[in-house]
Structure formats: structure tokens, C-alpha cells
Structure 1
Amino acid sequence: MRVAIDSGGTFTDCVYLVDGEVRVLKLFSTPADPGRAVLDAVKQVAESSAVPEVRHGTTVGTNAMLERKGARVAFVTTAGFEDTIAIGRQARTSLYDWFRSPLPPVVPKELRFGVDERVTAEGLVLRTPSEESLRQLAAAIQDSGAEAIAVSLLFSFANPANEKLVAEALQPLGLPISISHRILPEFREYERGSTVVTNAYLAPKVSTYLHRLGTEIEAAYTGGSVQVMQSSGGIIAASIAAEEPVRTVLSGPAGGVMGAYRLARLAGFDKIIGFDMGGTSTDVSLIDAAEGGPRTTSDAVVSEMPVSVPMLDIHTVGAGGGSIARFDAGGALHVGPESAGSVPGPICYGRGTLPTVTDANVTLGRLDPDLFLGGKVRLDDTRTLQLMEEARGSLGSVEQFAAGIVLLAETAMEKAIRVISIERGYDPREFTLVSFGGAGPLHACSMARSLQIPRVLVPRLPGALSALGILLADTVRDYSRTVMLPASDAETLAAQLQELETRAIEELQRQGLSGEAEHSVERSIDLRYVGQGYELNVPYGANYMGEFHSLHRKRYGYASAETPVEVVNVRVRVTVPTAPVELPKSELIAGDGSQAVRKTRPIYFDGAWRESKVYQREQLRSGDRFAGPALIAEYSSTTVVLPDCIAEVDAFGNLVIEVYVA
């Protein structure tokens, strides 16, 4: 039995298969102990005779980064370079903010240690650390109170001999050790060091969490197993995730991207913008099937820490259903990034006292109190209206206050979509907005209209699409290496890629994950014009030079075929496909959805209340077509159809909304 569970800030979503049918369960998250909600979900859905394969999208690592609650890390590097981890780059995230205080460094001064060794950029060992210096290093780290160790020596990606000696000398301390030539054998000292430090920072907490979760599942179900979603969009064994937790910091959002891509392709849409709005944040991504599907990046920054392992290209903003609205000292209204989470939650959940985006939607009639979570939880609309009235101050009516909260949240989300589309040379009018997450479909039509996106796709189970993406994901392992070769040296380039591929397949076979006919291999290379500081990734093939020039022109507006090009990194991705899930398909029969109408209710649009139909999504049929204004309620989410927009149900049960753009 395959079970996928995504832990979010407000809800823990579980998707599972019963007789080939996909089903969903939503539970309130347990932030103090995230594993409790995961285990509760497994117990509720797993039959006593079934052996569950639990696939997990975890936020344990993400939250540890955001809250700065990781381990005390001893950072070990080449003598003279101890402070690179704190100095970082010259770039500042808020150039003109005089009052911004950067987060404290993950590694304080007293936990930075230098080793007297040196390797050249070409990989020649100039100086080997002495046994005495390594004994002194181990003693100093033991006395420091460190809980984990990160080792990142200068140019160890070219020759890891000295780094292996250091790791061997520190092994007797019994602390988790993260080593750069295993985790990220690439150049750029600061980014490599930061990635390894992040891995060490998360290792004790994530490892403890996964080991405990695995032990409890194995104890309850003989043969049960736990696998974890990576930030790159692939599944890995929990044992690997425990050793390399840096690969899981965008675990949940990655599931959403993969789910959106799979379902959109099935529905016939190849160019999509993923719009995942949950309780705490919104994640957006742009995917073009013609460019190979979901893109990964190695330039992510999480909580002001560069993380250079492959991650899906996701842009996140602090706007979610639980985002708190407040007035500043000057009387201006702000929304987020602070969130009410699941405890105490929005006002309408019964415990919160501060107005949130969810409360604004309740006030505007865009959430039906009786139909939330399929009627299992009733929203307290009376209490919400009372506290919203008290919170609005002098800002017009309570409807104007609520509409202002929604507008500010949507403005932040619209800006995020512009970052991944317009600012990168893509026209959003050529794409379909795929909206999911518990709160996404509430705002999707408004977002699409603002950006002139012609249609919105709300897939089946939108509030649990991240979990569905985890259920459908393949097992994936990524490998990379810095090579610094002329792009014209095709023979050496091919040899480097082949060596990396051989290593990747050997490791998968040792883990029992791959046979010769059961895996696929993707090769790619990072290219740049000689003299440039950053590179672009293109697939490795017969025309990799042409693809590089084309991508460079699209990204930066120009290309130069005469300028020499160099290969910076080689990359290999090995994929072991998971067992497919067949989603049901129905015949299209023209209808107006009248059988699914539960009631009518007033909803606030554009400064006025309008009587609108409320549909129960589970009762809609493929082929139904109707116009807004309307509310479509279902177990995992609620969809708002704006006036003049047309909603239709496709053969797979997805909602396809034609957005009217004036």
C-alpha cells in the first residue's frame, strides 16, 4: 500500500490508493511533533493486512532553517579561510533598508576551525595535514560543544585526499560529519561551504525525526518503509535523507510542482505556472514541457543560506491563508509574512484572535462555513465577523477591510509570478495557471485576470496535490562535479560524464534500486562564456552549444557564437520509475452542473454583494459547464469563480476555468 503524506504549516495531507482509486485525508498539523500527525494519518488509512510504503514530504529541515533551531556546527576548512562562511558575498538582499538586521551566522566564530593543508585548483596536493594537527583539531572540536561537523577544504572537489584524512581523524568523536566532496563536489567556496554547513546544521534533528518515524512504522507494520521527497522532485530512501537532509529543505513544495506537472500534462496543457497557496506561504513555479519539464536550480537561498544542491526552481513568498493582517505605526495595512499556522490558527477555526487572509475570505462569503473540509469542521463565521469588525479600525466597512487584506495578499503573489515569468523572458499569457493548495483556488481567477493568463486549471484534490505529487514521484539521484573544460574538448567531456554516470548506477545497484533496464539517465552540463561569473545549464547532446547560445539569448537578450565557451560542471540524474497510478477518466456529457448546486449565497465582488451559486465539486460531472459568480466547495479546498468567468469539468475531473480579461 502506497501512502504519501505532506506536512504543511496548517494541515498534514495524506493521499493513498484504495482499489486503484486515489483518496485523500486531511489532518491538522502537530507543529510540536510533526511525526504525530504523520503516524495518525497512516493509522487511519492503512489496513491491518497492508504493508504501507510511506512517502513523506517533510518540513522538519525547512522549519529548523527558518527558525534557526538546528545543531551547533563545527566548520572545518583550510587554515586562513575560516571566516568565509560568515563573510559570504558582497550582495545584500535589502540594499536600502537601514534597519534590517541580518540573521545571526549559523556558525559562530568559536566554532570555525582551520586545518594546515593545501590543494591547488588543479588538484595537486601541496601540503598534507600532520597527524598531530589532526589530533589537536579533534580535541578542540570535542571541547567546543559542537553537535555536528561540516568539512569543506579548499579545492577538495578537485582532489579529496586531504578532506578524507580530516574526516577519518574526526570520526571517533561520534558526531554527524558532512563532507563537501560527497555532498557537493563543486567550485565556489562560500556556496559549497554553506551547503555543507546546512547539511550538518539539519543532520541531528532530521536524522532523529526520520529514524523515529521509520522505527514506529516498522514496529506497527512489518515490512513497512519510509521514503522522503527531495527538493529536486525525486524520492530517496529515508536513510539517505537522514545523511543528506540538505536535499529535503523544499520537500513539500517539490511534491506540488511534480503533481501539477503530471496532472496538467494528462489534461493536455504543456505550459503551466504552478500556484500553490497553503496556510503559511505561496510557492510558484514555471514549467514548459518543451524545455524538458520541471527545471532545477543550484542557486537557491534558504533562510539567508545558499544551498547549491539541485532543487526545483520554486519561488516562495510569505503569503498564505494564515497570513496575519496588521496595521503599522503609520496606519498602513500589511499582510504577512507572519502566519497564525495551525495553532492558534485563523479566527474562524475557533482559537485565533488575529485577522488572517482566511478570515477575510470568510467575511467576503468566499468560504462557506458549513462546507469546510467536507462539512467535518464548521467555521465560526459569527466570531470572525465580530473580531474583524474590532480589528478594522477606521478602514471603512468590514467588507473593505477584508477586501484590502485579500488585495495585499494577491499583490504579493502576483509579484512572485512575475519574477518567474516576465522577469525571465516568458509571457504569462501563453501559460495556464495550475492552482492548488488549500487556499490557491480561492485566489486563482483573480491572479489570472491580473496577469492576463487565459485559463485556470484546478486539478482533482487541489488541497492535497503536493501529497499526490509525492505519491507519483520517481526515485531520483543527482550527481555533479566541477571540471572546468573548454566546450570544444568533446572527448574529455564525454569521459567525465561517463565516469559520473558509472558511479551513479553502481550506487543505485548497491542500494537494490536499479537494474540495467529499469532506470533512465539524464546528462546535462553548466556552460558559460569564458570570463563570465555564472553559468547556464543545458542538456548534453549533439547540439549543446547551440542550445546554450539560444538559452543565453532568451535569458540575457544576447548571444555570441564567436566567444569561447567553457564547461564548468557536469551533471547526471538517474531516475528509477515508480509504479504508475492510473487516474480515472470519464466520458464528456454536456451539462450545466445543476445537480451539484447545494445552495445560493451572497459573495462580495468588486465592492458589492452578488448572489452566487454554491456547487459541491464531488457531484459535478465531466462535461458540466457553467458561469460565475460561483463557489465550488470540496473536501480539500474551495474554488472561487469570478463573474464572467466560465468553469468546465474535463474528462479527468479537473476544473478548467476560462478567465475573462477586459
Structure 2
Amino acid sequence: MSYVLVGVDTGGTFTDLVLLYAGTFKVHKVLSTPEDPSQAILQGLGELGILQTFDVLVHGSTVATNAVLEHKGVATGLITTAGFRDILEIGRQARPKLYSLQAQKVEPLVPRELRVEVIERLNERGEVLLELDEASLTAALERLQSAAVEAVAISLLFSFTNPAHEQRVAELAQQAGFYTSVSSQILPEFREYERTSTTVLNAYIGPLIARYLERLEQELPSHTTLRIMQSNGGSISSGTARSEAARTLLSGPAAGVVGAVYVAQASGFEQAISFDIGGTSTDVALINGAATETTDGMVGGYPSKLPMIDIHTVGAGGGSIAWFDTGGALRVGPRSAGASPGPAAYGLGGHEATVTDANVVLGRLIPEAFLGGAMTLDLQAAHLAVQLIATRLQTTPEEAALGIIRVVNANMEGAIRVISVERGCDPRSFTLVAFGGAGPLHACELAAALRIPRVLVPTVPGVLSALGTLVADTLKDYVRTVMLTSEQAQEVVTTVLQDLEQQGRQDLQAEGIAAEDVRIERYLDLRYVGQSYELRIPFVQKIEQAVRDFHAAHEQRFGYNDPAERVQVVNVRLKARGLTHKPEPQHQQASTDQRLIPLSQRQVVFAGSTGAVATYETPVYERANLVAETTLAGPAIIVQYDTTTVLPPDWQGYVDQVGNLILERREEQ
């Protein structure tokens, strides 16, 4: 029996849908509705004609991210151990910008008057030094109730070693009617500041996520299963997402990376860089056989220690607005025109020049081919908006548009360097997987700047994040702090992993995952004794091998190691993976007729060999006509429903056996 699956990714400008049935899929895009993202989803389902007939909806959501970035979460209180109410402000005592005289730290999500203390104390081993004082707890809860707090974060000292006090606090807080976020459930791991920050993030967005998912579920058919993407690249049930909302903070971008892994491996590339340009931002991530993870994430300036794909985001997208700083230099982003009013070319009232408008002026976006002709761009409005920039620069509109592209490309180039060069990886060994509505527009120029040898454009680049939700596995992450030297750790690590594995298998079974589809991955967080940071190392059976792997990883990451130094096991981690039955890539038959006939010819502006504006007579091709083994040479424009691909003059490309477009510089051949 074939199920009808729908993957959804809600972005700043468009909401993308992918319908998968019997191994085939259909794509669709609608304008996002930021005030209520569910309305765009329901509109898209209705336009696909499946509002009452699908079985599973997997949703990559931006609700949690936007709530944090815009400071629109619920009124949140914090209950902590007496003497520690200021942990959110003290943090790591690090300046956000070391050399800035005007650096401002982000305001805590919980103001000081809503951070209350209870009398209790454990030591680092979880032994009770001071029993929980129920009177102080009652007073704390009454104070939060009088302040009309909706959610409460509970983070007591050393609760990750003994959760008893936190469990009692949570019990009474729930009885008082609060949404509760408990650190020993969300993140049972050492480091007080990060654990508290993560727990607060979960409380701050939890009620919003719960209400949003409840509203969406009411609109969906009763037989439909709703699943939510996590920041770690796996999906969870909507019920889990309600109680552990912080796991969805990078939900949408993570889905894009999962999709990039899927298409890159289908074409035989294990090392790739995912490059996702949407309407408001660019997300990049390193794929080294699998997506790279981190537990040192930051969302809106607030630390989160939950596992998430190591994604670096910059405010540079199709809707990013061009402007001038106080020194008169041209800047692009991070402010965006969004979905409303959108770029000037959308004809919805926007008048400021954006990256999309620059691409229209350069001839790279074809007004009548946008969204497969479902939406026509306003060429005159785009020219008027870019003309304002050109007047300030005293240049032609084409030169101004090229300047906008160069500036935004520089921002994106910096982002790619952060996740590659700064992680000890050479981008020249990777393939750039370009997707999102604007990724294929900019990918070749970015690859040339970074000397990345090739670009891969998937068959459905504009909706790859939505496809990623459908190929994502069900993931459960578990962690326990042990803090032992490697010589002492073997027995403890083995016992802890057995406990975590049992818990993981039970949780996946509760999510409906068959036992034969469960895979267990084991890791250790290791560091040299005395260090304050760790590296995550895969663990098989022996600590000794993990230590050797740690020395090698330390050399790659930091450029040195010391095999004579003692190694400490900080955390034991386990990932329980419920495998998704992914659609097999469809191998295409090569056409016997290799003649490639363009749809049209048009004038397109590129940077010439000296960097000056150069106009080329450029053929325009329909992506659907590019079958396996088709080759083409730049300059060329390839149009399709969900994006436009730009092939510069010194590039060439071919279509591989699974339909992905592989682009390479001629000099790199």
C-alpha cells in the first residue's frame, strides 16, 4: 500500500510543498503567510487538490526561530537554585564583539524580576547538600503567577546528576498551570549557563509551538499524521515537538541540509557544501559523508546545547535590501523585503532594490518565466528600484546591479569559509550543492571565488528543503555527563550506553518505528585534561580507539595534538535513528537526440575578464528538456518552475544519470 506523503517548508517568502506518492513527486510553491504559517500550508494543499487525501505531513517550521529572533515568545519565568538567578546575564563573561566600544549583549529572554530562586543544593555528584525547601518553592510559584507568567523554565544546580529536586519543582509548577521546561529532561548535561539558556529557550517558545501545531492539526484530516523536523536533521512527532520545542529551532534549514545529502549521494558525492539561498537568508553547511553536527549552536544570540546540524546563516537572500552605510559604502542585507511587500519586481508595493531586482536588471531572471509563468515579474519596477542605487553610485543600472550581486556574494563567501576553512576543511575538495529559490542563481560565481571545483543543482532545487523533510529519518538524541579520564571510563561508558540504547529503542518504538529499522550511533565527547571544550568522536567498543581518533581529530580541527597528554571523557552520547524508506533516485534514459534547442535568446550581463560589465547573447533552456548525458556550455540560463540556474560564460555542465545538473569551470576540467 502506498502512502501519500507531503513535505512542507515554510520560508520567509515562499512556502514549499512536495507531494510524494508511489515513488513519484510533485512540487508546489505559494507565498508565505508570516502572521499564520498554517494558512499558506492549507492553501498549498488545496491547490494541489489533496487537502483531505494525504496520510503524512512532515513540516519544517520557522515558527520557533522567528519567535526567538523577533522576541515574540510567551512571558517566561525561571526557577533556579538560590544564588544563581543571574546566570543568564553573567553567561561566560564574554564580550559579543571583542574590539567594539559599543558592543551590546542581547537581553535575557527572562527579565530579572521573573527569575526566582528556591532553596536547595546538590553537589557535583548529585548528593543532596540541602533538601528542597517547599516553602521557598511555593513562594516562587506564587510570585510567577502574580506576574502572569505562562511558561516556566526549571534549571537547578547539578540536576543532570540527580533530577529529583527538579522533578518536584516541575510537579508543583504543572499543578499551578504553567507550561514547564525542565533541564534534566531537555538537556541532562553539564555547563550551567548553556543548560539554563537551552531550557529557557524551550519554555519561551513551547506554548507558541503547541498552539500552532494544535491549530494546524485541527485543519488537517483526522487520519493524517503530523511530524516536525528537528534541528538535528531528523523528524519527531508533533507531541514531542510540543514538549521539546527547542529541538525545532533550526527546523527548516536542517531539512535543506538533509535534502542536500540525499541528492549529493545520489550523484556519488560524499563531500559537499549545502548552499541554500531563500528570500531572507543564506544557510550553508558542511557535508563530510553526513551532515556535520554541533552542540554549540546559537539562535538570536542565545546558546542552545541541543544537537543541531552545524549551519551558518547570514542575512543574504533574494529579498535582501541594498543600502548605503554612514561611510557611503554599498551594503546588502540583513534587512529583507520578505514576502510582503517583497522585492520591487514582485509588484506588491516594494520599492527598495533587492538582490532579486538586481538579477532581473542583469537579465538573469526572466520575468515571464518566474514560478513557471504563474507569477510575472515587473521589469520596470525592478529597474526603477536599482536606478536609485545607480544614481547614488553614479553608474548605470547594470553596473549597480552587478555591484549588488558582488556584495551579497561576498557575504555568502564568508559564510562558506566559516563552515569549511575555519573547520579545517579545504573547500576545493567539496561539491557545492545549490538550492533554494536563488541558490542556483549565485552558485557558480561563489564556487569560482572559493575554487570549489563543481556545482550540483538538484532536479527540484527550489523545494529541496521540503523534499528533505520526506527523506529525513526519525532521530532521538541522548546525552549523559560522566567526567572521567579515559583510563577510568570503559566500564562506565559501556553501562551508560546500554541504558541510553534501551531508552532510545523504547522511544522509537513509541513513534511507530519497527525494530529492524532502528540504528544506534554512539559517540563520546573527549578533551585533553584541563581543556574547556570537547570534540565529538564516534565510539565503537574500546576507549583506546576513541582516544586515538580524538588525537587525529584534534590535529585536523586545531592544527596540533599531544598523544602524551591525558584524555578526559566528558559526555556519553547516543543517537537512535529510525530509518525512513527513502524514494530511490530515478535513473533517466539518455536521449538519442543530443541536439539542445534553446527556448529563446536574451541579453544577460556578467562581469567580464577585467571585472567590468559585459553583455552576452545567452540561450535560455527549459530544465525539463535537459535529459541524462545532455551537455551545455556557458553562458546559459536554465529555467524551471522553482528556480533559475545561471551558467556563466566560463562554465559548462552536464546532466547525470539521476537528473542532477553538474556544473564545472572549463579551466578546472
- Shorter-normalised TM range: over 0.9
Does residue 366 (structure 1) correspond to residue 364 (structure 2)? The answer is yes
Paired residue secondary structure (2:552): helix
Map residues 178-217 of structure 1 onto 2, 5 A cutoff.
178-217=181-220
Q: Please, which moves more after superposition, 165-174 or 117-126? A: 165-174
Q: What's the CA shift for 1:392? A: 2.5
Q: Which residue of 2 aligns with 1:122?
A: 125
The 5 Å alignment of 1:19-418 reads: 19-47=22-50, 50-217=53-220, 221-289=221-289, 293-351=290-348, 352-395=350-393, 396-418=395-417
Deviation at 1:225, TM superposition (A): 1.8
Matched, 1:627 2:633: yes
| Amino acid corresponding to residue 558 of structure 1 in structure 2 | Y
What displacement does 1:46 show? 5.0
**Residue 608 (structure 1) shift:** 1.2
Residue by residue, what CA displacement relative to the aligned partner does 1:568-609 show, whole Å, maximum 9, x if unpaired? 1111111111222123211334765523x1100010011111
What runs of 5+ residues in structure 2 fail to find an aligned partner? Answer: 608-612
Query: Distance between the aligned counterparts of 1:332 and 1:282, measured in 2?
Result: 22
Give the superposition deviation at 1:100: 4.0
1:570 corresponding residue in structure 2: 572
Residue 87 of structure 2 contacts residue 193 of structure 2 at CA under 8 Å; is this kept in 1? yes
Cα gap change, 1:24/1:563 in structure 2, threshold over 3 Å: closer, same or farther? Answer: same
Equivalent position amino acid for 2:359 in 1: N
Q: Distance in 1 between matches of 2:594 and 2:33?
A: 41
- Comparing 87-96 with 518-527, greater Cα deviation is found at 87-96
Change (3 A) 1:40 1:353: same
Cα deviations by residue, 1:206-253 (Å, 9 ceiling, x for unpaired): 110011101211xxx231121000000001001110111100010011
Would the aligned equivalents of 1:622 and 1:649 in 2 still touch at CA under 8 Å? yes
Displacement of 1:401 after TM fit?
Answer: 0.8
Residues 517-568 of structure 1 show CA distances to partners (whole Å, capped at 9, x for unaligned) of: 2311111110001100000001112421111111011111111111111111
Structure 1 residue 661: Cα displacement = 5.0
Partner of residue 599, structure 1 = 600
The answer to whether the Cα contact below 8 Å between 2:118 and 2:133 also exists between their aligned partners in 1 is no
**TM-score when normalising by structure 1:** 0.97
2:623 corresponds in structure 1 to 617
How much has 1:350 moved relative to structure 2? 0.3
Distance in 2, matches of 1:32 and 1:222, equals 25
Q: Retained in 2: the 8 A contact 1:449–1:660?
A: no
Partner Cα distance (1:558, 1:545) in 2: 15
Task: Determine the C-alpha separation between the residues in 2 that align with 1:625 and 1:515.
Answer: 44
Contact 1:231/1:312, CA 8 A, preserved across alignment:
yes
Q: Deviations over 1:267-323 (max 9, x none)?
A: 01111011111110001111111xxx1121100010010011000011111100000
**Residues 51, 592 of structure 1: CA spacing in aligned structure 2 closer, same or farther, 3 A cutoff?**
closer
- Distance change (3 Å), C-alpha of 1:661 and 1:72: farther
Aligned length: 654
Distance in structure 2 (CA, Å) of the matches to 1:593 and 1:118: 77
Q: Is the 8 A contact 2:589 2:627 kept in 1?
A: no
Aligned to 2:610: none
Q: C-alpha separation between the residues in 2 aligned to 1:94 and 1:593?
A: 56
**Contact 2:205 2:246 survives alignment (8 Å):** yes
SS in 2 for 1:186: coil
Distance 1:313 1:258 in 2: 12
For residues 540 and 240 of structure 1, what CA distance do their matches in structure 2 show?
A: 27
1:491 Cα deviation from its structure 2 partner = 1.4
Match of 2:519 in 1: 520
Superposed CA offset, 1:155-199 (max 9, x none): 000111111111112122211000000000000000000000000
Q: Which amino acid aligns with 1:103?
A: V
Shift, 1:42, TM fit = 2.1
CA separation in 1, counterparts of 2:254 and 2:14?
17
Q: Distance between the aligned counterparts of 2:364 and 2:327, measured in 1?
A: 30
Match of 1:561 in 2: 563
Matched, 1:12 2:20: no
Among 5, 22, 26, the alignment partner of 1:2 is 5
Q: Tell me the equivalent position of 1:659.
A: 665
Q: In structure 2, do the counterparts of structure 1 residues 341 and 48 end up closer, same or farther at CA, with 3 Å as the change threshold?
A: closer
Mapped to 2, the partners of 1:531 and 1:122 lie a distance apart of: 19
1:326-383 CA distances to partner (integer Å, 9 max, x unpaired)? 1123321110000000000000000211100000000000101111000111100012
Cα distance in 2, alignment partners of residues 593 and 276 from structure 1: 32
Report which stretch shifted further, 101-110 or 230-239: 101-110
| Matching of residues 397-546 of structure 1 within 5 Å | 397-488=396-487, 489-509=489-509, 511-541=510-540, 542=542, 543-546=545-548
Q: Which amino acid aligns with 2:137?
A: L
Q: Given that residues 81 and 119 in structure 2 are in contact (C-alpha distance below 8 angstroms), is that contact kept between their aligned partners in structure 1?
A: yes
Query: In structure 1, which of residues 638, 646, 654 is the aligned counterpart of residue 652 of structure 2?
Result: 646
Secondary structure of 2:515 counterpart: coil
For 1:242 and 1:49, the matched residues in 2 are separated by: 24
One-letter code of the match for 1:522? E
Contiguous gaps of at least 5 residues in structure 1: none
Q: Could you tell me how far apart the structure 1 residues matched to 2:414 and 2:51 are?
A: 48
- Using the TM superposition, name which of 8-17 and 514-523 deviates more: 514-523
User: Is residue 591–residue 624 contact of structure 1 (8 Å, CA) maintained in 2?
Assistant: no
RMSD: 1.4
| Aligned position for 1:581 | 583
After superposition, the C-alpha distances for 1:73-102 in whole angstroms (9 at most, x for unaligned) are: 111110000000121112223222333433
Q: Is the 8 A contact 2:95 2:103 kept in 1?
A: no
Cα drift, residue 50 of structure 1: 2.7
The range that moved more, 525-534 or 13-22, is 13-22
Secondary structure in 2 matching 1:393 = helix
Post-superposition Cα deviations, 1:621-648, rounded to whole Å, max 9, x if no partner, equal 1111010001000000000001121111
Shifted more, 82-91 versus 462-471: the winner is: 82-91
Q: Alpha-carbon deviation of 1:48?
A: 6.7
TM-score, length-scaled by structure 2: 0.96
Percent identical pairs in the alignment equals: 48
Q: CA deviation at 1:19?
A: 4.0
Given that 1:263 and 1:459 are in contact with CA atoms closer than 8 Å, whether structure 2 keeps it comes out as: yes
Aligned-partner SS, 2:367: coil
Write out the 4+ residue segments of structure 1 that deviate beyond 4 Å after TM superposition. Answer: 589-593
Letter in 1 for 2:276: D
Q: Is the 8 A contact 1:593 1:625 kept in 2?
A: no
CA spacing shift, 1:118–1:550, aligned 2, 3 Å: same
Taking the aligned partners of 1:22 and 1:152, their CA distance within structure 2 comes to 45
